[in-house]
Amino acid sequence: MREGPNYGPEKRQDLGAHDSYADDFVMVFDREDDARRVLAVLPKRFGRYGLTLHPEKTRLVPFRRPSDDRSPLGEPPSGKPGTFNLLGFTHYWARSQRGYWVVKQNTAKDRLSRAIHRVATWCRIHRHLPVQEQQKSLAQKLRGHCEYFGIAGNSIALGRFRTGLLCAWRKWLDRRSHHARMTWERFTRLLAGYPIPPAIAVHSPYRHAAMP
């Protein structure tokens, strides 16, 4: 993808009507006509092995690298670069620190919302557990989230997940009792004794370079 593929037909392979297993993959092409030709042939190739492609989730996605060309008037080129979602990430074009176009990934908005909602539900159901047990479980949930989504360039989304986790925890601790309100000031003091770890991009090559 470093060369900036123009089109990527996104496929989902289903292994039978009664089988819940599925596999996702992306194919990238420099030319649109090549992508369309493969897209037309794939159902037949899969059919030889008794496999089918999901009719709604199999699609052709324009994913051109943004052009550096400018109009004669010196205005930036029109049109937005393509994006697509796969395996919980939104893939998009962005500038590197050196100014080159590169493909980056962020946590997809729907996946981030669902992850925060699941944590909030857990906090509601388990709000009467001892604080130490809650802290231990929530710290594990944050680490697990970072193990999957903790890639370079995704720090903002990781931070949003951690913020959502903390807000949900304080909210449901506050509702445990009407006699001792869990204000933000009190919650900050509680975090000093029962800390939640930072949201770290554990798969960042820069982090590994600093910690060989």
Per-residue pLDDT of the chain (212 residues; tens, 9 = 90+): 333 344 444 444 443 444 545 577 888 888 888 989 998 998 888 888 888 888 887 888 888 888 765 544 444 444 466 788 888 999 998 888 888 888 899 999 999 999 999 999 999 999 999 999 999 999 999 999 999 999 988 999 999 999 999 999 999 999 987 777 899 999 999 999 999 999 998 887 655 444 44
Residues 22 and 96 in one domain: yes
Residues 127 and 92 in one domain: no
Q: For the whole model, what pTM was predicted?
A: 0.76
Residues 125 and 205 in one domain: yes
Residues 120 and 204 in one domain: yes
Dist CA 54 CA 143 (whole Å): 33
Inside any domain, residue 177: yes
DSSP string, 46-77: HHTTT-EE-TTT-EEEE-PPPP----TTSPPP
- Taking the CA atoms of residue 128, residue 124, residue 162 and residue 207 in that order, the dihedral angle to the nearest 10 degrees is 70
**pLDDT tens for residues 10-52?**
444 443 444 545 577 888 888 888 989 998 998 888 888 888 8
Count: domains in the chain:
2
Residues 77 and 125 in one domain: no
Cβ atoms 149, 203 nearer than 8 A: no
Helix (H, G, I), strand (E, B) or coil at 11: strand
The domain boundary, picked from 106, 127, 158, lies at 106
Inside any domain, residue 2: no
Residues 158 and 114 in one domain: yes
User: What is the extent of the structural domain holding 16?
Assistant: 7-106
Residues 138 and 175 in one domain: yes
Looking at residue 32, its pLDDT comes to 86
The domain boundary, picked from 106, 135, 158, lies at 106
Supply the angle between the helices 184-193 and 155-174 in degrees, to the nearest 10.
110
Looking at residue 100, its pLDDT comes to 86
Helix (H, G, I), strand (E, B) or coil at 19: coil
Helices (H), strands (E): how many in the chain? 6, 7
The domain boundary, picked from 78, 106, 134, lies at 106
